[in-house]
Structure 1
Amino acid sequence: MDPTTPAFDKTQTDTVTALVKRLLERDALLTPYAPVLERRLSRVLNLEKTLAGPQGRLADIAAEYDYFGLHREQDGWVFREWAPNATAIFLIGETNGWQPSKDFALARIQDNGIWELRLPGNTLSHGQLFRLLVQWEGGQGDRIPSYARRVVQDPHTLIFNAQVWEAPAYEWRHEPPDLSSQPALIYEAHVGMAQQEGQVGTFAAFTEKVLPRIIDSGYNTLQLMAIQEHPYYGSFGYHVSNFFAVSSRFGTPEDLKQLVDTAHGAGLRVIMDIVHSHAVSNEVEGLSRFDGTLHQYFHDGPRGLHTAWDSRCFDYGKEPVLRFLLSNCRFWLEEYRFDGFRFDGITSMLYLDHGLEKAFTGYDDYFNHNVDEEALTYLTLANRVIHQVRPDAITIAEDISGMPGLATPIGAGGIGFDFRLAMGVPDYWVRLVKEYADEAWPMGHLWHELNNRRYDEKSISYAESHDQALVGDQTLMFRMAGAAMYHHMCVDDPDTTVDRAMALHKMMRFITLTTAGHGYQSFMGNEFGHPEWIDFPRPGNAWSYHYARRQWHLADDPGLKYHFLQAFDREMVALVRRFSVLDAPWPYLLYEHNDDKILAFSRAGLVFVFNFHPTRSYTDYAIHAPAGKYIMILNSDDAAFGGHHRLAPDQEHLTLPMPNTKTAHRLFLYLPTRTALVLKADKA
């Protein structure tokens, strides 16, 4: 049966009908699109049945990494590869002088293009380099195996090769922590540029020097970028060449396992950026033209080329491609014990035009011929596999379009992601800083953007992304402080530009965190206002590593103001954990005044008040609040956070009834300019 054709058996039809009904109950605006939803769900169920069989489990077929590639068996080695257009394949390497021969020729064992080579046990040894010579009608080329688990680059020739890796099995010491009931407080990091020195960082150095900082920060989830092997370091890890190989720049597979294991022992879950939205265009290092065709893994013709990213686009309608990608999901969960994934570039996958320069303004944008339903099906199946292998794993969708159902459970008719990123929030903060004078910030619009999410789906908010830290853009702190960061960050050096930047930096991050749906994310170094930008080695900077690092010493120096920002970040994270703020219902707006630049809201039994005005402090400012006595438990103006210490700690405030009413009450507060404060009801 064509997996794209809806099934007609009554059981499956009833299942599809029930799933669509559940989805419509969550979002009635989807009702006009019920036929499209039924078609999409039928496609998913049909393809799952085709892949797994009527009684099978999809995760069971997602273990092809144990079949393809190089494996040690009891009587020797076995190597398998899928290359349907190839006419001959040879393993070449250090063991045979890099010359093709009949002793190292793969044999085609199946008509669907599977090739196999068996070698005696002493033929290959740990550390040897190898690759494939693939021949096809009219040509040939060297290729790195598609399932290679170890790929290394020669530091002199810069050539990549696969490497035989037979190190002793890593002995895991810690089980992954059970954080399934906790919101995701994510600390995003890039291992290679996490070091202080101008060089490529390693897994070992990260485990020793950076991981303790993350543990101390209070975040409960570590998100690692650039784990899959990529030939160009400056791609930030998003131009993947070898999907099953750990980037060897950072160390060995065992080094990564120790990092994950150590994080687990400290109570952190570890997720990785996984890139299934596209692949590098390189042909020797990557999958492009692997068997002599452009359409083995990717779409043929223009659809297979992502011109904006200079990369290749997977053909999600091909069963072998699906098996490859699904197997990749299971591999990272089982081999390295990752606790989930952030799927990169979802918008690019979902739309045939990749969603570039497109404004998504209504539901019609999600239900037309521009939607790639094959990619939509793959993402649903990937979530199915991940949660079958690890029910407690989390999956996060990076989607700017707002596709409905993306973070809805599969059992409720959705695509199955656990979270979606609230990607509009960081863009809005940049827009405010760039386009509006401080006194013109629109409080109502700000409140709308902070809470503009699909309330039937879980979301993760963030104030700024790693993209803003790259050359060509700026972090919030650097954008606001500019050159003053080079001259006025000493604690005994008052400066109005730095003072403004620090006050707003704390407030912007805090209000983003406390209004977040179900999680919050920060990029390493941003918590203390890291200066400058990230610039990977490239010809334009003479291949310098000077900016491809993090200057942790700035936050460690008590004589510099950076440590104030770090201290506040630690306290705000501790507060939301202590009071389970992100587990509580949505924030309830208590008060908004655009001219005064005041926002006040309640959540988790706490009252949050923000005065964004650049020049006005207010005395006895009235804020609506439930009746009772309140104690101030946190304020961003505290001297410990680099503030002006205009509020006495542990202040108590009593509400007063509003005139002519018996139920409404108000708090009267002193609200210093550019200050956020938190009040807790005293129930004693």
Structure 2
Amino acid sequence: MRFRGHVRNLLGHFSRFGEESCAGSLASALHVLNPYSSRGEGHAALGLDELEVVLEHTDAEESMNELWGAFGAMDELVIPALTAVVFVEPLPNQPGYKRNVRSAQFRPQLRERPVVGDGLGLVVADPSCVPFRGHFEYRWKVYSDLRKHITETAGSLTEFASGFRKLGFTKDEETGAITYREWLPPAKSVSLVGDFNNWDEGATPLARDAFGTWEVTLPAKAIAHRTRVKFCATKHDGSTVHRVPAWIRWSCPDLGKFGSTYDGYYWDPSQAGQDDYCFEGFQAARPALPSSLRIYEAHVGMSSTEPKCNSYLEFARDVLPRIKEAGYNCVQLMAIMEHSYYGSFGYHVTSPFAVSSRSGTPDEFKALVEEAHRLGMLVLIDLVHSHVSSNADDGLNGMDFGQPEGESYFMTGERGYHKLWDSRLYCYKNYEVLRYLLSNLRWWLEEC
């Protein structure tokens, strides 16, 4: 999977690069995330440049060098990591799981880029920035100190961005035991509820660690594939709420019930029945980067000629061939992450790790990607990390119990709410928020 950052970056700025040369044109088509904030001291976001895919082929490396050359000294401050991912060539024999057989999904090899330079490349490239040299130096120090802190506490940035292997629902490969973890410091108690325990709030309690992460381990197959799950949390005032897990892989409402809120669904295709669509694993080689990109932007749900929300499988069957025939070699997909409000065009995200259920399942989305690669087209997707839906019952905003910023995904007060978008703003200075967002980027890269 190739990535394209959302037009609004982590902290609401716009980042575009020059349009000189083929590489510059490509860069201008791909928005990247600015690793720094303009919201004041202390609000620095970790740059995403450290998650760099290892380039396996000479052609890819040459293309990479051309791109870096287009940016010049500027790459020391804002490094186009998401653009760099485009140049990854296919690894041979990509593994995938077969029907009802659990095995590892394709995961590109990642390595960390060391911190180099003094962060003043932009000052050198643009004389108008010279008066602000001191502020650039401050921003670089905040970034360097944060990077050092993460390395010291997590072992490496790569390991830090692997939260999906520990948080949310995970499965022991040997025993099949299911472990569920959720970071929720303000909760007085947490239990796991769902179809598997008849929504009994007292049946499956979680234990809390010193950092506010709750955990429970269940026997193998205790939760069936594609069955509803939520957690029940007791707030400081004694009231209880049911919420969708933050790291859930699939989430959708009861389509037969008016006004239904979203439920999380436990996703384990190794348990899939014969009637369930199960992706057979990636077989088509990932296309090499062409000398010139022709990008077709599409919204899967709105791509049907009929008055309905189109599915991933229908898009793969009916739309991708037309895009290919029209001469495009890349498709950029909008609104892939789960969102409750369709009128947001997909940008009021509720569950960042889940594909939009209106168009199908995670396996069906993988089938779309596989078909695009079979047709020789690259795939770009939008990931939204600049804000999140304010719907508390449907997704991540449900984690806000009015706690301090240090225990929350979001900033508090007016700083945590975007009035024009009616959405919540992440607290990017928080360790667990950085883990969540960086892990989200890596998860989409490895999963699809």
TM value normalised by structure 1:
0.45
CA–CA distance in 2 between the matches of 1:243 and 1:142?
A: 18
CA–CA distance in 2 between the matches of 1:68 and 1:25?
A: 42
Asked if 1:192 is matched to 2:301, the reply is yes
Residue equivalent to 2:247: 147
CA–CA distance in 2 between the matches of 1:171 and 1:243?
A: 23
Post-superposition offset of 1:322: 0.7
Asked if 1:85 is matched to 2:186, the reply is yes
Residue equivalent to 2:415: 303
Per-residue CA deviation, residues 142-162 of structure 1 (Å, 9 max, x unaligned), is 100000001122112223111
Larger mean CA deviation between 91-100 and 18-27 belongs to 18-27
Change (3 A) 1:42 1:184: farther
Residue equivalent to 1:105: 205
Per-residue CA deviation, residues 31-77 of structure 1 (Å, 9 max, x unaligned), is 22211111111111111111123995422210101111112223321
Counterparts of 1:211-222 in structure 2 under 5 Å?
211-222=320-331
Question: Alignment partner of 1:118: what SS?
Answer: strand
Per-residue CA deviation, residues 485-544 of structure 1 (Å, 9 max, x unaligned), is xxxxxxxxxxxxxxxxxxxxxxxxxxxxxxxxxxxxxxxxxxxxxxxxxxxxxxxxxxxx
Change (3 A) 1:279 1:174: same
Question: Alignment partner of 1:49: what SS?
Answer: helix
Residue equivalent to 2:130: 31
Between the two structures, name the one with larger relative contact order (CA 8 Å, sep ≥ 6): 2
CA–CA distance in 2 between the matches of 1:128 and 1:56?
A: 35
Asked if 1:260 is matched to 2:369, the reply is yes
Residue equivalent to 2:140: 41
CA–CA distance in 1 between the matches of 2:384 and 2:115?
A: 30
CA RMSD of aligned residues (A): 2.4
- Contact 1:134–1:291 (CA under 8 A) maintained in structure 2: no
Unpaired segments ≥5 residues, structure 2 = 1-40, 45-113, 271-278
Question: Alignment partner of 1:192: what SS?
Answer: coil
Change (3 A) 1:235 1:65: same
Post-superposition offset of 1:116: 0.5
- Contact 2:120–2:136 (CA under 8 A) maintained in structure 1: no
- Contact 2:372–2:378 (CA under 8 A) maintained in structure 1: yes
- Contact 1:305–1:312 (CA under 8 A) maintained in structure 2: yes
Change (3 A) 1:176 1:83: same
Asked if 1:329 is matched to 2:429, the reply is no
- Contact 2:400–2:409 (CA under 8 A) maintained in structure 1: no
Change (3 A) 1:152 1:17: closer
Residue equivalent to 1:177: 287
- Contact 1:226–1:238 (CA under 8 A) maintained in structure 2: yes
Paired residue for 1:236, among 309, 327, 345? 345
Change (3 A) 1:23 1:257: same
CA–CA distance in 1 between the matches of 2:154 and 2:215?
A: 29
Question: Alignment partner of 1:48: what SS?
Answer: helix
CA–CA distance in 2 between the matches of 1:21 and 1:90?
A: 49
Post-superposition offset of 1:265: 2.1
CA–CA distance in 2 between the matches of 1:190 and 1:122?
A: 36
Post-superposition offset of 1:289: 4.5
Change (3 A) 1:31 1:196: same
Question: Alignment partner of 1:229: what SS?
Answer: strand
Question: Alignment partner of 1:241: what SS?
Answer: strand
Post-superposition offset of 1:186: 1.7
Post-superposition offset of 1:291: 5.3
Post-superposition offset of 1:219: 2.1
Post-superposition offset of 1:185: 2.5
- Contact 1:238–1:275 (CA under 8 A) maintained in structure 2: yes
Matched letter for residue 244 of structure 2: I
Question: Alignment partner of 1:308: what SS?
Answer: coil
CA–CA distance in 2 between the matches of 1:232 and 1:161?
A: 15
CA–CA distance in 1 between the matches of 2:179 and 2:266?
A: 12
CA–CA distance in 1 between the matches of 2:170 and 2:298?
A: 32
CA–CA distance in 2 between the matches of 1:127 and 1:152?
A: 11
Per-residue CA deviation, residues 168-192 of structure 1 (Å, 9 max, x unaligned), is 464110232221x744422110100
Matched letter for residue 136 of structure 2: L
Residue equivalent to 1:585: none
Change (3 A) 1:170 1:112: farther
Residue equivalent to 2:196: 95
Post-superposition offset of 1:267: 2.0
Change (3 A) 1:69 1:278: same
Post-superposition offset of 1:122: 3.3
CA–CA distance in 1 between the matches of 2:205 and 2:119?
A: 51
Larger mean CA deviation between 205-214 and 267-276 belongs to 267-276
Question: Alignment partner of 1:152: what SS?
Answer: strand
- Contact 2:244–2:398 (CA under 8 A) maintained in structure 1: no
Residue equivalent to 1:114: 213
Overall identity of the aligned pairs, in %: 37
Per-residue CA deviation, residues 608-627 of structure 1 (Å, 9 max, x unaligned), is xxxxxxxxxxxxxxxxxxxx
Change (3 A) 1:322 1:201: same
Question: Alignment partner of 1:264: what SS?
Answer: helix
Question: Alignment partner of 1:193: what SS?
Answer: coil
Matched letter for residue 305 of structure 1: Y
Matched letter for residue 197 of structure 2: N
Question: Alignment partner of 2:393: what SS?
Answer: coil
Residue equivalent to 1:463: none
CA–CA distance in 2 between the matches of 1:55 and 1:236?
A: 36
Paired residue for 2:262, among 142, 160, 184? 160
Residue equivalent to 2:379: 270
Unpaired segments ≥5 residues, structure 1 = 6-14, 337-684
Question: Alignment partner of 1:104: what SS?
Answer: coil
Matched letter for residue 297 of structure 1: Y
Per-residue CA deviation, residues 408-452 of structure 1 (Å, 9 max, x unaligned), is xxxxxxxxxxxxxxxxxxxxxxxxxxxxxxxxxxxxxxxxxxxxx
Change (3 A) 1:166 1:20: closer
Change (3 A) 1:335 1:187: same
CA–CA distance in 2 between the matches of 1:289 and 1:248?
A: 19
Which of structures 1 and 2 has the bigger CA Rg? 1
Matched letter for residue 417 of structure 2: L
How many residues in Structure 1 have an aligned counterpart in Structure 2? Answer: 324
CA–CA distance in 1 between the matches of 2:43 and 2:389?
A: 28
Residue equivalent to 2:4: none
Post-superposition offset of 1:29: 2.1
Residue equivalent to 1:410: none
Change (3 A) 1:86 1:54: closer
CA–CA distance in 2 between the matches of 1:212 and 1:165?
A: 30
Paired residue for 1:316, among 428, 438, 446? 428
Question: Alignment partner of 1:201: what SS?
Answer: coil
Question: Alignment partner of 1:79: what SS?
Answer: strand
Residue equivalent to 1:134: 233
Change (3 A) 1:144 1:289: closer
Per-residue CA deviation, residues 226-278 of structure 1 (Å, 9 max, x unaligned), is 11101111110010000101111111111111111111122211111111110
Post-superposition offset of 1:21: 4.7
CA–CA distance in 2 between the matches of 1:234 and 1:67?
A: 34
TM value normalised by structure 2:
0.68
Change (3 A) 1:55 1:100: closer
CA–CA distance in 2 between the matches of 1:226 and 1:155?
A: 19
Matched letter for residue 353 of structure 2: F
Post-superposition offset of 1:313: 0.6
